[in-house]
Structure 1
Amino acid sequence: MFQKVLIANRGEIAVRIIRACREMGIQSVAVYSTADADSMHVQLADEAYCVGGPKSAESYLKIDQIIAAAEVANVDAIHPGYGFLAENAHFNEVCRESGFEFIGPSPAAMEKLGDKNTARSMAIASDVPVVPGSDGLIEDDKAAIATANQIGFPVLIKATAGGGGKGMRVAENAEALEKALSQARTEAQAAFGNGGVYLERYIGSPRHVEVQVIADQHGHVCHLFERDCSVQRRHQKLIEEAPSPNLPDAKRKAICDAAVRMIRGADYSNAGTVEFIVDPNDDFFFIEVNARIQVEHPVTEMITGVDLIKEQIRVAAGEELSFTQDQITVTGHALECRINAENPDKNFMPNPGTISKFYAPGGLGVRFDSHVYGGYTVPPHYDSMIGKLIVHRPTREEAIATMRRALAEIQTEGISTTASFHDKVLQHPEFVSGKHDTKFVEREFTGK
């Protein structure tokens, strides 16, 4: 087992990893930007090293600085968390070449799955359902129109290196397709350095369901059931829950089995998430694999009792999974609300600044993963999430009631947060019914 681990991240996920390390008797090393000198992950780690200026490009994305910190601290392994360099195959490779174990999949698996078009081909090879679409990347407009006519309009243009909705456009007809292709390629090139795009049939009102998987280096692959992430705004998840409501048991088993096939076929180890869309007929289609731990992993931990971060560390150290598939069962229902420093009354405008007063909710079944405290200044340079409020109760109805109670307990003075908006969503009949889709928030609340 590792003696010392560096966390190449910040905020709540860095705190989460530090906690797991401490419980495992592993020393933790934090890295931080000048803007994060007073952050909680810096205070909780056994050691901490500044790796640059306030902007991500000056610090958390500086591979040479992070490797230098790992060398100075003499660590055994590096945990990337999520975001930043977590799915950067080059960083993964540099870590290993520098003598540090990377707590995640191999660079080869990460690179293949990080390209959505390649991942789609891998899904087909593993008998995992995919949305009808183009056979590879679309190179010219004429081929795009021919493909769209074959699979049927409307179509969805997707960047092969995409994420977060960037490089994604919907086209209703041939004329709109030509314009949207140009926009998608330009946006994808700017965001990812790769302008490649492909087409899929557009499924208008899907649910977003993902399956948590983990695999060791000894050929064992397990799923930890599914999560529903359909409450989204502009392709960004707001509320997640597990298990997925209103998913028939036969489909639940089928989608989890498909995720395991996908991961086996990718020669993958460590934690990952296989994402699907589910249409109104409960048919599911592969979207992508996230080759890292995800923001919403706590809801899976709550319903299964598995500490995913500890399991990641054990797998990276060469140990076998500590459980078998038949030992994983679902208990109760979990919800997670992402609490962001944003003003929902001003089109979710980011609202960084100093938190003059802060009170975190508690009580039976409540967990709050955060890095903020009274007196902490939320910097303007990073993602606006200041914490994740998670509840776990015997039933979905009880989970919603507990979440609403916990949201009302949060006291944050000095900045605006999205807590009140989450409460509105939780009260809405469509959410209460569990029959909401990915367009629910835009349709019922924001209008865009």
Structure 2
Amino acid sequence: MPDLTSRLRDRTAEIGVIGLGYVGLPLALAAVRAGFRVTGYDINAERVGLINEGRPVIAHLDTEGLRAALATGRFRASADMAGLSRPDAILICVPTPLTRQREPDLSYVRATARDIARTLRRGQLVVLESTTWPGTTTEIVRPILESTGLASGSDFHLAFSPEREDPGNARYGLADLPKVVGGDGEAARDLACLLYDPIVARTVPVSSAEAAEAVKLTENIFRAVNIALVNELKVVYDALGIDVWEVIGAAATKPFGFMPFEPGPGLGGHCIPIDPFYLTWKAREHDIATRFIELAGEVNRRMPHYVVERLALLVDRELGRPLGGAAILMIGMAYKRNIDDVRESPALKLMDLLEARGARVAYHDPFVEQIPPTREFPHLAGRAATALTPEIVAAADAVLVVTDHDGVDYATLVRHARIVVDTRNVCARTGNAAANVFKC
């Protein structure tokens, strides 16, 4: 397709990005900065309106960058999927969650593919960025697009390029990272590389869409397994009276053969708690057991339960009272520091477990003013964050640090709390270790 090739090279191609969330919106803005014209599509009309007004929709996003993109005239958001016939390249950045049975939920991908199919035309490039199992691009998306009578590889091109967005990472933004690209054929891969070359640090072509899909799963399985390892070590070392953070810090001084990972209260976000199970599900089709991956998932899912048991023990030992009826102030609702994303956050599970035990739970999070609706914990939606004053801290029986946001005044927290149960080692890290602080 020489016309599309030339338009990608001279950046006169129009790009469509479907899904203006934590992945899609930064990608759209990066494409604008690279010189492309971009339309961002989202089914949430309210979100589209806020974006077009240049108002913040993601806490860590550079709002001035959004306004600058709008000012160029080369970016706008739309809720009208009928406009998908216009872009030369369409990038799919929609969620791929798990069902309650921990099986892949590709409903968003399928719905988006059907939206594209309604207006698909010859000469378009479609790239799936949503993390999924190897084979999704060619086994799920391609048949939907080819139901139009157009053929992948001749009438349109189809590729997969996994997102590597790390919300809140000040060192590595989207444009700083290499981008893996695999296609449904070499021509699709090469066109996708032409698209991403001016947007990211460099492209990394691989042999197929399936290989690219496997790359993303491998990256996140690696993290999930290593986090499970240090979480299990934390439980063991706690029983032995050893500080796991001290051990990891000392081990990290070895210049080879060791990579430090930190324990925590559980896994959160849309990647690490979910992505490994896309591969375990696919492996079952081939009668292959993924015991290592599933064990890591089991360890990580148990961590909120461990934290609650440890908290109950400390409340009983230090305050002489049961967890039932105790006032617990949780610090942090987001799944990681300095962002507003609560997807799969262990804080939600912790709040649910604590209240099931009869505790009275409040939370403070400078990024999450109100708990949004979630599929697993709909009953927590609408809870509002409390202020962090000395009086509120002192009124709590225990403070549970779940998310180590930088903006929290840990010195004041430690000074006024009866006990602080710190799952992130942030009190020691910020020089606020004290007799009433207990690592967990």
Q: TM-score, normalised by structure 1?
A: 0.29
Say which structure is richer in helix. 2
Q: Which has the higher contact order (CA 8 A, sep 6+)?
A: 1
Say which structure is richer in strand. 1
Larger Rg: 2
